[in-house]
Structure 1
Amino acid sequence: MSWVPANLANLCPSNSTLSSCQPPTFMFLTLVASLFGHPEVSYPNKNIEEEYDFIIVGAGSAGCVVANRISEVKQWKILLLESGIEEPEVAEIPAFVSTLSGSNIDWLYRTQPDNHSCRSRLGRSCAMLRGKVMGGSSTINYMMYVRGNRRDYDEWAEEGNRGWSYEEVLPYFLKSENNRDPQIVEDNPLYHNQHGYQSVQRFPYVNINSEILLNAWQELGYDLVDINANNQLGVMNLQTTSANGRRQSTNNAFLRPIRRKRRNLTVKTEAYVTKLLVNYNTNHVIGVEYTSANNRIKLNTVFAKKEVILSAGSVNSPKILMLSGIGPREELEKYGIQVISNLSVGRNVQDHVGMYGLVTAINFTSTSQNISIIEDISTYEKTHRGPLSAIGTTTVATFLQTMFQHEHGVPDIQILSLASSQRDFLNNPELFFDTVVEPLSYYDAISISPLLLSPKSRGFILLNESDPLWAPPLIYPKYFSNSNDLDVLVEGVEIVLKLFDTESFKKNDFTLINKTLSPCRQFKFGERDYWKCVMMEYTATLFHLVGTCKMGPKSDPEAVVNERLKVCGVDHLRIVDSSIMPKIVRGNTNAATIMIAEKASDMIKEEWLSDGI
């Protein structure tokens, strides 16, 4: 038993042999043996299934798109494996999005404690919301459709990733888009499409507070713009991945229309992938092992004749790679995992990070008073209209430049306005930042949050020493480890504060709650050092974790995949999700992830088809 990690060896008596361990210990250890690549151990209860041409791991923002596009090839047989359950109906109601965090369709991941961030959050860590459900994070996110900036993709190409410039990726944004707002399409026809699978639309309900915010930003000189067109700088009531007042996840958009019609596509939910199967002589991935939710002991083995496509997301894709022997040598050797390819898996973590603390009291236009939720539910059921068909003021977003950004047309701060509660903030600010208004339609405060679009800080993800297979991976985002990020965000805060001098805010009695937060009481409220303290104590994140399987040329020592998204040093394995982003895009990441999947699908077809579809 020398190969068994120290923390697992005590599951059997020290004087016993592996075969004499009684269930479930024996079964668990054989699973661990499989995980760490010891072929001399047999697999009891292994279920060997038939072959597929392609196996897609993860039915999230990217996986659903790939499953749709490559199943267009009728002669290909495809298996899509998802750890979570089917998408629940409640997830489609926009205002209920705040109830999905911490539910059974959330992986419940949290960041590790750090001296630079999340210091006064629950457990000295920040939640890292990830969808464990058909549609993945597109089923639990706030639905904002933002592509990022032209320079994001040009920078990817300039770093040696051929084919990823803005002009080369724009057709893939258009390919997926079904834009349901005719005026936006008419105003910018070169940047929008109405014939894709993914519905993009403004919510049908806009409350008065959103209008006040839009007017205030315009008073400060920020124009109303279509941030997905030629100019990203300005303010917009954002379009969302929704259709007629209902969320449209990638599961809803790309899979539901074809899932029962294409006989060559098999979808399995509650299928937890434990390992990639590799031919160690050729470094060729030949399949995957997975267990079902109701039977962790039974191993199911399935083989891929062409490729395994890993679309498990920026946390789980690196975890699966490392468990399979693909990752940093020093990390894998700690667990006795056989190293197949020594790559910087789990490094290069980036996220859109910001702060809470700019809480605005609203009185005349509060929606928390005289709540008519029963009536609103009835209206929503009948028409998909009313307050429940929107997410409060959250879709009002401003993209702006601080003094630190010198390149024309490129923002470095995004401002969001989140529905909040005055009472919660005043009574217990320490808990306020870990609670949300449920549903988002009813609120009497707005938390205006500046977020960093191009962070310089970089983090990493490690396997969990207590249980590498089943325990959550260790997420170290290292927010604010580069002090320049704090300086940029302070500039964002000072721009936000100018809103309180606008006529729109004054005449509607929008006032800043200038309550000094106790962990920062050594600083005077409003000073730059005070805001920096608030950032580190009450860190905010949009859960846009990316970059953990970085795309890069051969000359890049941090590259995990090449420009074709193939894993370096391993054959027949491709990664298609947000983890491949070499640098985070300047905006919400879901639209960019869908684009990546559209482009990757064409790459797959180009490589495996000689005569087209």
Structure 2
Amino acid sequence: MSPLHLLQFFLCSVCIHMFSIFTYLVYYYDLFTSSHEAQEKYDFIIVGSGTAGSLIADRLLKETNYTFIVLEAGGKGHPFHDIPAFGPLLHRSVFDWHYETVPQENACFAMENSKCKQTQGKILGGSSKLNNMIHVRGNVSHYVDWFHGKYTKEYIEEHFNYIESNIYPLRNIQYDSQLSDAVLDAAKQLGFNELNHQNSLGFQKSLLTQNQGKRWTTSDNFDTSKYVLTNALVEKLIIKNNKCLGVQINYPKKVKLFAEKAVIISAGTFNSPKLLQLSGIGPAELLKSLNISVVKELPVGKNLQDHVGTGLDLVLFDTSQSVGMFDMMNFFNLYKYFVNGVGPLTTPGCEVVGFVSTKNETIPNIQFMVLPVGITADRGSHLRKSLGIADFVWDNYFSKLFEKYTTTFFPLILHPKSIGEVKIKSQDPNLPPLIDPKYLSHPEDLKTLVDGIKMLTKLLETDAMKTIGAHLNKNHFPGCEEYDLFSDLYLECYVKHLTLSSYHPIGTCSMGTDASQSVVDLTFAVFGIDNLYVVDGSVLPTLPSGNINAAIAMMANIFIENTINQFNLKTNQHMCSRNISFEELFLNVCPVR
């Protein structure tokens, strides 16, 4: 490493360590000063404060008089953690669950022990505090299929319209590099249109969940200090006679809380199945092997899917693309962010998203995420560690790129055929679950990603990309030296080594109509257990065609609207047991019998 690169590494490391120290101070200050007292009983208990849990809480608060509590295992965070450019610094921090896969047989070879990291937010706001803030509806017809025709396409679009008007402040990306315009021009030269709700193929600049340059999550919509209990790990559900009565939490001692109407689990694709399995709901063989009494046998933890991709620092430039690590640390840019909410600190990391079909079909099978800053931008001080890149790979591939400007055109498989699972490994709620996504176990997934890289090469061959000097990284990837560069065999080897999760896991508590294949029904109720619901990414039976946050918000909105109507109706029916006036009956306070 040259003296200049050593200096860059030193400066990046100092800034990142200062941020880490600040993050630890925020976490432990919240941990030791939190004084929120929980009641023993509520109408609703919500487990998890991520996109779904916070949206449900927000609507309960603003539209009903029901009592509720949101239980969050992580801490509150700080406004500095809402600076979009700082999002990657929370990966592998105290606000991350630090999950990783088991060693993969067909993927992740470039990672330490062939394990891919699985970043998940352990913070008020959940994983939406760590993501790229990208809002994509995806293909609405897929959601109609999820509900088996219960809801029409128009009904689902109405819920998207609601969250886009009332839940999220959506903003176009307001600071980007010259790369984003070049990519859009290149896409046009290849015949792609700009994305909109009517066409499913094309490219666009990222639409973000931001407000005045600040990251915005559903937890920002209500006063969380009164309704959220942070640092409260839910250890198990209290179930009696096939009815969920409440939860047992560790805060900081074991406490039992009870719910009159429902317990809603919104703990995420890894922690929701973990909690169900700890409580005796899941595969009987697994539960019995851990000496856990079987309350209800369901395929909890099965059907794990993820948008898996590749392409890290695969595209190089000889000149800067205007957004770099040191641009973000510029004091003038800090001033612009804190005073006016503008500048490079508002960057989502991903400037452009694109959806293409490598099969010449009308429905995409690949999503591109274009990131103008590569993993080598911080000279190895943080980003490589957050992904778990092995030392040998770093030293023999990535560290050779310091003289170049690196970017990542990240192709993702939208609908992988490789299916994995999540399962607990003991009765200890403090231990992480075993996560085995079985990446690239289906050969078609490998071919699709190879085709995605080939599509990328076509993009780079356009005049728009040649004008800004874009070219492929021609260094052989470690472990793939025996193959001709960019041949099919080389690309297959490359993909198997440099396998990357987009942190879009879904499916482990799938929704459906058959309890032998699903965990929750079309109302999100857990099969065979009264008063228990799961509402988060884990219920999605298949992956949406795009980033999952918008789809989760839409699903949560459907759930809470129907739940409010359901319990209001029950309240009105209860009123009908008394004598009512003709005027009340005429006003339809109670249904006619």
TM-score, length of structure 2 as denominator length: 0.83
Counterparts of 2:383 and 2:41 in 1: how far apart (Å)? 55
User: In the superposition, relative to structure 1, how do residues 468 and 162 fare at CA in structure 2: closer, same or farther (>3 Å)?
Assistant: farther
Counterparts of 2:307 and 2:200 in 1: how far apart (Å)? 17
How far 1:558 sits from its partner (Å)?
A: 1.5
How far 1:278 sits from its partner (Å)?
A: 0.7
Q: Is 1:382–2:349 an aligned residue pair?
A: no
Counterparts of 1:427 and 1:526 in 2: how far apart (Å)? 29
Task: Tell me if structure 2 keeps the 8 A contact 1:208–1:365.
Answer: no
- Corresponding residue for 1:593? 552
User: In the superposition, relative to structure 1, how do residues 291 and 212 fare at CA in structure 2: closer, same or farther (>3 Å)?
Assistant: same
User: In the superposition, relative to structure 1, how do residues 570 and 162 fare at CA in structure 2: closer, same or farther (>3 Å)?
Assistant: farther
- Corresponding residue for 1:244? 212
- Corresponding residue for 1:255? 222
Between the two proteins, what is the percent identity of the paired residues? Answer: 32
Secondary structure in 1 matching 2:431:
coil
Counterparts of 2:102 and 2:379 in 1: how far apart (Å)? 25
Q: Which moved more, 1:368-377 or 1:66-75?
A: 368-377
Task: Tell me if structure 2 keeps the 8 A contact 1:61–1:593.
Answer: yes
- Corresponding residue for 2:298? 343
User: In the superposition, relative to structure 1, how do residues 422 and 313 fare at CA in structure 2: closer, same or farther (>3 Å)?
Assistant: closer
Task: Tell me if structure 2 keeps the 8 A contact 1:109–1:128.
Answer: yes
TM-score, length of structure 1 as denominator length: 0.81
Counterparts of 1:82 and 1:429 in 2: how far apart (Å)? 27
How far 1:154 sits from its partner (Å)?
A: 2.8
Task: Tell me if structure 1 keeps the 8 A contact 2:265–2:272.
Answer: yes
Counterparts of 1:486 and 1:199 in 2: how far apart (Å)? 37
Q: Deviations over 1:531-586 (max 9, x none)?
A: 111111110111000000010103x6211000000000111101111111111111
Q: Deviations over 1:234-267 (max 9, x none)?
A: 0000201111211101111x324xx47xxxx632
Matches within 5 A, 1:5-404: 49-157=39-147, 161-178=148-165, 196-226=166-196, 229-252=197-220, 254-256=221-223, 259=224, 266-279=227-240, 282-292=241-251, 295=252, 298-357=253-312, 359-367=314-322, 368=324, 371=327, 373-392=330-349, 394-403=350-359
User: In the superposition, relative to structure 1, how do residues 268 and 423 fare at CA in structure 2: closer, same or farther (>3 Å)?
Assistant: closer
- Corresponding residue for 1:417? 370
User: In the superposition, relative to structure 1, how do residues 574 and 450 fare at CA in structure 2: closer, same or farther (>3 Å)?
Assistant: same
Task: Tell me if structure 2 keeps the 8 A contact 1:523–1:529.
Answer: yes
Task: Tell me if structure 2 keeps the 8 A contact 1:209–1:365.
Answer: no
Secondary structure in 2 matching 1:313:
coil
Q: Is 1:449–2:403 an aligned residue pair?
A: no
Task: Tell me if structure 2 keeps the 8 A contact 1:546–1:580.
Answer: yes
Secondary structure in 2 matching 1:505:
helix
Task: Tell me if structure 1 keeps the 8 A contact 2:312–2:374.
Answer: no
Task: Tell me if structure 2 keeps the 8 A contact 1:156–1:164.
Answer: no
* C-alpha RMSD of the superposition: 2.6
Give the counterpart letter for 1:251 in structure 2.
S
How far 1:366 sits from its partner (Å)?
A: 3.6
User: In the superposition, relative to structure 1, how do residues 602 and 529 fare at CA in structure 2: closer, same or farther (>3 Å)?
Assistant: same
Task: Tell me if structure 2 keeps the 8 A contact 1:82–1:271.
Answer: yes
Counterparts of 1:48 and 1:208 in 2: how far apart (Å)? 51
Give the counterpart letter for 1:141 in structure 2.
N
How far 1:211 sits from its partner (Å)?
A: 1.3
Q: Which moved more, 1:71-80 or 1:599-608?
A: 71-80
Give the counterpart letter for 1:52 in structure 2.
Y
- Specify every segment of 5 or more residues in structure 2 that has no aligned partner in the other structure, as ranges: 1-36, 399-403, 573-588
- Corresponding residue for 2:23? none
How far 1:383 sits from its partner (Å)?
A: 1.1
Give the counterpart letter for 1:272 in structure 2.
L
How many residue pairs match? The answer is: 521
Counterparts of 1:430 and 1:594 in 2: how far apart (Å)? 31
Give the counterpart letter for 2:156 in structure 1.
V
Counterparts of 2:64 and 2:91 in 1: how far apart (Å)? 38
Task: Tell me if structure 2 keeps the 8 A contact 1:366–1:445.
Answer: no
